[in-house]
Structure 1
Amino acid sequence: MKSQWEALYVELRDGIRNRKYAPGQRLPTEHELSASHGVSRNTVRRAYLALSQDGLIRIVNGRGSYVMENGIVYEIDAVSRFRDVLDRLGVDSTSRVIQSAVEAAVGEVAERLELVEGNLVLRHTTVILGGDVPFILTTRYFPFDLIPDFENRLARMGAFTPLLREEGLGDLHRVSTTVGARMPRDDEAALLACPHNAPLLDVSALGRLSDGRAVEWQQAVMNSQLIRLSFSA
């Protein structure tokens, strides 16, 4: 015989799978479910925690619990950008800066950007959101001498590609992409509002200008429950 929280979990799980609750929909509050089902709020909380651990919902502190969106296909080619995918779907996209700093290029960063170790790079970490849903956490490295007043202008514009065009440097072309998978760190799970037991897509990519100069080395993690990658020739 199922416990109260297990019975509630099954009811909600089946409701999500049967689309009684649509992707992105806010679920009833703990108080509402407690009253309608005659159970304690701790029972509701335990059922919601299990749904979150299964990747079916995301719990946003102070705002509620939401059914996980899923299935956005990100088709990767030389010029594709995830924010363009969201825009085509009619989803408002934003980028939230987590950290930005100028530092010396070392190791893989220097190698990928074809710089002498010690040359300065701009390290820029952001979360890409669709609506209020975080999809991608990305850290990008750029040669600091690429654009005058680089850090401030990137912060103001919020995107690298239009900044390149404004500076007359042309378009950015992705020349290589490597994809793996791993479990999230605590900070990544928090920033992406994803379960600790759901793998992330671990993606690295190199971007060059049309003249061949390497100008962007990107290391990103993506919520695998929300994004599917597709590669085109």
Structure 2
Amino acid sequence: MEPQWFKVYQAVKKAILVGELQPGRQVPPEFDLSEEYGVSRNTVRRAYLALSQEGLIRSVNGRGSFVMQTGLTYEVDATSRFRDVLDRQGVRSTVQLLDSEYTKADEEIAGILKVESGHPLLRVTDLILGDEVPFILTVRHIRADLIEDLERKMKEANSLTLVARHEGLGQLRRVSTTVEAGLPTDREASLLQSPANAPVLVVHSKGGIDNGLLLECQRAVMNSQRIRLSFQSEPAR
């Protein structure tokens, strides 16, 4: 016989997959489902735990559990930004700044950006959210010698693309992108509200400006249960 929690789990999962419960909507409270299925609240809690581990719902202390946004396709090209993808699909995007500090390039970062070791950089760690749901955790290393007062300008604009444009550096373009899969660290899983045993996408990219210099390199950890990547090639000439 199937355990009681599994029946509740299947019913709620089906409602999510067929669209009866839309992303962002609160799932029924534990008390309501316990009454409907004649089971204990602990049984419902076990079903919700399984749904959370699959990335289908998330629990917010004091507010309840909500259906997660899943399956967004991020079409990656030279100038695309994930926040624009969210906005086009009617999802309100925000960026939460977790950390920002001036630092110096170690040998690895210096090699990526083609600068000398010890070159001045700004390291910025951001969490990109859509409708308050975390999608991407990014760590960016940006050349600090090309933009005066870079940290302040980044905090004000919340966009390196806009800062580069306003500073007369032209269009920031993605020069290269490498994608790999892996398991998140405890911190990454916590920030992305992702199960610790669920693979994430780790995207390494470099961004250049109009004069050919590399302006930044980035490591982005993406919740693979919420994002699909689609790479766009330049049309043949």
TM-score, L = length of structure 1 = 0.94
Asked if structure 1 preserves the Cα contact closer than 8 Å seen for 2:24 and 2:131, the reply is: no
Distance in 2, matches of 1:107 and 1:224, equals 30
Gap runs ≥5 in structure 2: none
What is the percentage of aligned positions where both structures have the same residue? 52
Find out whether 1:182 has 2:164 as its counterpart: no
Classify 1:94/1:36 alpha carbon distance in 2 versus 1 (closer, same or farther; 3 Å). Answer: same
1:21 and 1:90 map into 2 onto residues whose CA distance is 17
Q: CA RMSD in A?
A: 1.5
Report the counterpart of residue 76 of structure 2 in structure 1: 76
State the distance in 1 between where 2:90 and 2:23 align.
Answer: 15
In structure 2, the partner of 1:166 is 166
1:65 corresponds in structure 2 to 65
What SS is found at the alignment partner of 2:175?
A: strand
AA matched with 2:230: S
Q: What amino acid does structure 2 have at the position aligned with 1:83? A: R
Give a deviation string over 1:88-134, Cα, whole Å, max 9, x none. Answer: 22222111001111111102211111121112211000011112111
Residue deviations 1:186-212, cap 9 Å, x none? Answer: 111111112222211110000011111
SS in 2 for 1:59: strand
Query: Is residue 92–residue 131 contact of structure 2 (8 Å, CA) maintained in 1?
Result: yes
The one-letter code sitting in structure 1 at the alignment partner of 2:6 is: E
Q: What SS does the corresponding residue of 2:23 show, helix, strand or coil?
A: coil
Per the alignment, residue 109 of structure 2 pairs with 109
Matches within 5 A, 1:10-89: 10-89=10-89
Aligned amino acid, residue 85 of structure 2: V
Which runs of no fewer than 5 residues in structure 1 stay unpaired?
none
**Contact 1:59–1:193 under 8 Å retained in 2:** no
Farther-moved stretch of structure 1 (143-152 vs 60-69): 60-69
Give deviations 1:149-189, integer Å, cap 9, x for gaps. Answer: 11111112111111111111111011100001111111111
Indicate the SS of the match to 2:145: helix
Q: What is aligned with 2:4?
A: 4
3-state DSSP of counterpart to 1:20:
coil
1:18-40 CA distance string (max 9 Å, x none): 32222332101223323443332
